[in-house]
Structure 1
Amino acid sequence: IPNVSTNARWAQNGMTVAGSHGKGNSTNQLWGPCGLFVDDDQIMVIADCFNHRIVQWRMGDMNGQVVAGGNGNGNRLDQLNGPTDVLIDKETDSLIVCDRENRRVVRWSRCSGTIQGEILIDNIACWGMAMDDQRYLYISDIEKHEVRRYQMGDNHRALVAGGNGEGNGLNQLNMPTNIFVDPQQTVYVSDQNNHRVMKWNKGTREGIIVAGGQGEGQALTQLSYPNGVFIDTLGTIYIGDSRNHRVMRWPNGAKQGSVIMGGNGKGIGANQLDFPMGLSFDRQGNLYVVDHYNQRVQRYSIE
């Protein structure tokens, strides 16, 4: 998690670091990308949803490399179907993938020659994932409107957010998409259809609204179908405010956010976005945004 100062600024024009050659399944293209994960070496892995694959891009490469799926949509172990999120598990040098349409979470080794994955969790309407320092896996479920914590290799699953049916109460969620877990095992949830971000402290029965929650809209107090969420060491929240085509930054405890990227109408310009979804930082504090309908990933350099 990067240390980002409170008065940090980023370039307003994004640099395309993956995709942007229209939608398609060539290795220089993406189609409906959703989530991404950036590791310490600035290697990106991207859930290339409508191509039913995970692609890896190194900084400066013109083409990505298929590292999971890519064999058409289906439920064989060498296939994915509409993957929405991915992360790298350094301990096992593997990718963990939310294989959404197959209702399962799968693991693919990063060793060369890997041709199929293994099922970690099945029968789950997963969307977003996060892993904490103890290697617990957190997964959002968009049908049960909850987030659960899983111990790797164990069937025990602890409820950590929601789980009280679809709704907008403080103990409820409505379509929880992306999630982020901090070192204290605090869970942040993009509560998409409630147009808010919720924070659930460890062991609590209800969450706290930390961004949005004022109905759908484009005021600085509002969000519209948020997706990607990331929290820096100061507790500042970064949000892919999807239908407002912008990325918002909410300082810890703030009543409103500021627009740090986009917000210039939807479009394909370098200062525009079209439904931003997953987002992530590298160690230097540069921000990476999945620009869903522009079929690209944008990188915004910290100034």
Structure 2
Amino acid sequence: MTEFADMRTVYGETLIKLGDENPNIVVVGADTTDSLKTKPFGKKFPNRFFNVGIAEANLVTMAAGLANEGKIPFASTYAAFLPGRCVDQIRNAIAYPSRNGKNGLNVKMVVSHGGLSVGPDGGSHQQLEDIAIMRVIPNVKVFVPSDTVAVEKLTQLFAQIYGPCYMRLARSKTPVIHSKEQEFKIGKGIVLRDGSDCTITACGIVVGIALEAADLLKQEGISCRVIDMFSIKPIDSELLEKAARETGGIVTCEEHNVMAGFGSAVAETVSETYPVPVKRIGTKDQFGESARDGEIPLLFEKHGITSIHISNAVKAIRSQTR
């Protein structure tokens, strides 16, 4: 039976562990600390926890100030609000400054409620533009983990490396894909399944859908390589070039607008290293819409983010390259 777990809970628990280890770890929230599961950190370390209220620009600038004084701030709220309400502050207060000769300030921006799976919160809160926004800001690293194992490992990595990081978590519980022993490296994807006929690469909760698509295609005698590309910036150009050379085509899948998102990052990379057909699965320049939790699969289907759509994209690429 597939195990499901909550990314936000694991994020909050990991912050407490990091807080025990490093007194410079601080947490900043914007009236969503209950939802982001960071409030327990505040109960344990009240002098290292700051809730600024519904003031996301202040969230970012306060985090920047703390980083400028040598702290390691984790700033968290919903993706609709960060980056949604404070791109200017992210760009100019976090990414642009230098400290001790290092580019950007050491702020970790970790958000939840990204993508269509926000469901009941509707189109205004279903952030489908954040990857595009954040990956074009210099000095900012961008990550979209597929499960709680990735969340824990990446949160720990953020505390160890210098510089601005952005990570998007899911609202709903997600299937556990990785083993506890899996190693995560900045700028390196993970091959979940090998294959020779085409590559499917995904990020976030749709990695599970990519694996389902590979299972469907296997029944038809089509062998697909599946890559979890949790590190979107920097992206694993070496792994993508290898996949392009060995499988002849790539299908990307994301819970995001296909314009300027993860699929675009893959297409840009492959076009410069080893051009092959790339088909992108994601929302097609549209906003989301309300859906009850039980209806979220229907919302994904409406926007073409399903294993069937991925399977059809793989078949279309194979028909092109034969």
Query: TM-score, normalised on structure 2?
Result: 0.27
Q: Counting helix residues as a fraction of each chain, which structure ranks higher?
A: 2
The structure with the larger Rg is: 2
Query: TM-score, normalised on structure 1?
Result: 0.28
